[in-house]
């Protein structure tokens, strides 16, 4: 027997139709309730605006989104006004949204603007889902779509000039923590930490890459930074020994500081301040997502790198993201991602 009174269906109504909506005459209080509930529904089920249709139709589809053939013709429109293409090779039809994260045409892209405002403001997915009156699982699914769009975001980043470089650490989740034999936690940089290599330069490039280790080594340092630093640059860093491989192989000049001594300085006097403040922002962002799935660590780092790179204006950032998403195809299937990530 169903015993979930939070679910509208258990009450025999949906937000779209209340049972008395079909009555000819009704009380003023019932009408008031109807109007309120339908407003909620409308807010949650906005239809696609003309501006949105115009945006989507401005994207030129030059090849079939199913088979890649160029033998496609634009032959009619979907009911919502979006151009429909037909492929003469595989006989399927597609639109500019086919294969993008916006493929589900029932949800307008404008809904994403609200979601992204919350995500980029360092809200957690839980609060964001609540604010948007979206199901929590939808918020999580959309997050995985965001991750898909940003998966290659850091691939081509090359830092140059004055480069600040360091490592920061995130704890593994409680249930996966290894404890000492006496049940106490390991202290300092232990096997329960996940190392992330971080760097930034004066041009505004930001790099955050999971090193897949708890303690940096020559090998992990090289794998993390080797392809992202322009040879001959100037490195500003702490006394971590493994950095020497970068200095040697990439012919870098460098200035090295003892982080313990730097702790006594005010932020403004600290030569490592740019990388320290990057760490502080990354920690603040991740604190809002405390229970994040560590299997997605690199995805989170991609998101933070995206947020902290230029442009820093929130709406310019949303514009950039939507254009990236409209111009790339990613397969993110609800069923697949939810089962893979259901452990959280």
Contact call for residue 256 and Zn ion (CB under 5 A):
no
C-beta closer to Zn ion: residue 56 or 87? 87
Using the rule CB under 5 A, which residue among 69, 253, 329, 342 binds Zn ion? 69
Radius of gyration of the chain (CA): 25
Using the rule CB under 5 A, which residue among 18, 37, 48, 87 binds Zn ion? 87
Binding span for Zn ion by CB under 5 A among 66-74, 150-158, 199-207, 263-271:
66-74
Contact call for residue 66 and Zn ion (CB under 5 A):
yes
Contact call for residue 64 and Zn ion (CB under 5 A):
yes
Dihedral sign, Cα of residue 272, residue 273, residue 274, residue 278: positive
Binding span for Zn ion by CB under 5 A among 9-17, 42-50, 67-75, 321-329:
67-75
C-beta closer to Zn ion: residue 86 or 222? 86
The whole-angstrom separation of Cα 342 and Cα 344 is 5
Q: Cβ of residue 78: shortest distance to Zn ion, in angstroms?
A: 17
The whole-angstrom separation of Cα 256 and Cα 254 is 6
Binding span for Zn ion by CB under 5 A among 24-32, 65-73, 149-157, 165-173:
65-73
Using the rule CB under 5 A, which residue among 55, 59, 90, 281 binds Zn ion? 90
The whole-angstrom separation of Cα 144 and Cα 125 is 11
Closest-CA residue to 159 (of 90, 122, 217, 206)? 206
C-beta closer to Zn ion: residue 66 or 218? 66
By residue count, the chain amounts to 344
Dihedral sign, Cα of residue 317, residue 321, residue 322, residue 323: positive
Binding span for Zn ion by CB under 5 A among 33-41, 88-96, 245-253, 294-302:
88-96
Cα distances (angstroms) measured from residue 244 to each of 135, 167, 221, 250, 295: 49, 14, 9, 10, 29
Backbone angles phi, psi at 10, to 5 degrees: -65, -20
- Residues in the interface with Zn ion (CB under 5 A) total 7
Token reading at 173: 């989740």
Binding span for Zn ion by CB under 5 A among 68-76, 134-142, 211-219, 252-260:
68-76
Contact call for residue 245 and Zn ion (CB under 5 A):
no
C-beta closer to Zn ion: residue 86 or 257? 86
Closest-CA residue to 286 (of 149, 217, 223, 194)? 194
- Where along the sequence are the contacts to Zn ion (CB under 5 A)? 64, 66-67, 69, 87, 89-90
């Amino acid at each position: 027997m169903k015993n979930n009174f939070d679910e509208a269906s258990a009450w025999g109504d949906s937000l779209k139709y209340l049972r008395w909506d079909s009555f000819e005459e009704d009380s003023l209080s019932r009408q008031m309730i109807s109007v309120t509930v339908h407003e909620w529904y409308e807010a949650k089920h906005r239809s696609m605006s003309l501006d949105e249709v115009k945006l989507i139709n401005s994207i030129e589809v030059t090849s079939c989104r199913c088979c890649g053939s160029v033998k496609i013709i634009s032959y009619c429109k979907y009911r919502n006004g979006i151009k429909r293409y037909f492929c003469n090779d595989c006989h399927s039809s597609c639109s500019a949204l086919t294969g993008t994260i916006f493929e589900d045409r029932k949800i307008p892209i404008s809904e994403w603007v609200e979601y992204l405002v919350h995500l980029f403001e360092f809200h957690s997915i839980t609060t964001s889902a609540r604010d948007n009156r979206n199901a929590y699982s939808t918020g999580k699914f959309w997050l995985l779509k965001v991750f898909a769009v940003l998966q290659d975001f850091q691939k081509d980043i090359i830092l140059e000039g004055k480069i600040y470089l360091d490592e920061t650490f995130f704890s593994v989740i409680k249930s996966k923590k290894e404890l000492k034999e006496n049940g106490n936690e390991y202290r300092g940089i232990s096997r329960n930490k996940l190392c992330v290599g971080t760097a930034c330069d004066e041009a505004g490039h930001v790099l955050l890459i999971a090193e897949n280790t708890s303690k940096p080594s020559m090998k992990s340092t090289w794998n993390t930074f080797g392809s992202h630093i322009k040879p001959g640059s100037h490195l500003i860093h702490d006394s971590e020994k493994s950095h020497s491989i970068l200095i040697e192989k990439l012919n870098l000049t460098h200035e090295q500081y003892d982080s313990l001594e730097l702790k006594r300085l005010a932020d403004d006097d600290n030569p490592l301040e740019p990388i320290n403040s990057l760490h502080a922002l990354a920690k603040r962002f991740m604190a809002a997502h405390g229970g994040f799935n560590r299997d997605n660590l690199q995805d989170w780092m991609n998101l933070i790198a995206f947020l902290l790179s230029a442009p820093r204006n929130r709406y310019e950032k949303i514009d950039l993201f939507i254009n990236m998403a409209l111009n790339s195809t990613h397969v993110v299937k609800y069923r697949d991602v939810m089962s893979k990530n259901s452990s959280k």
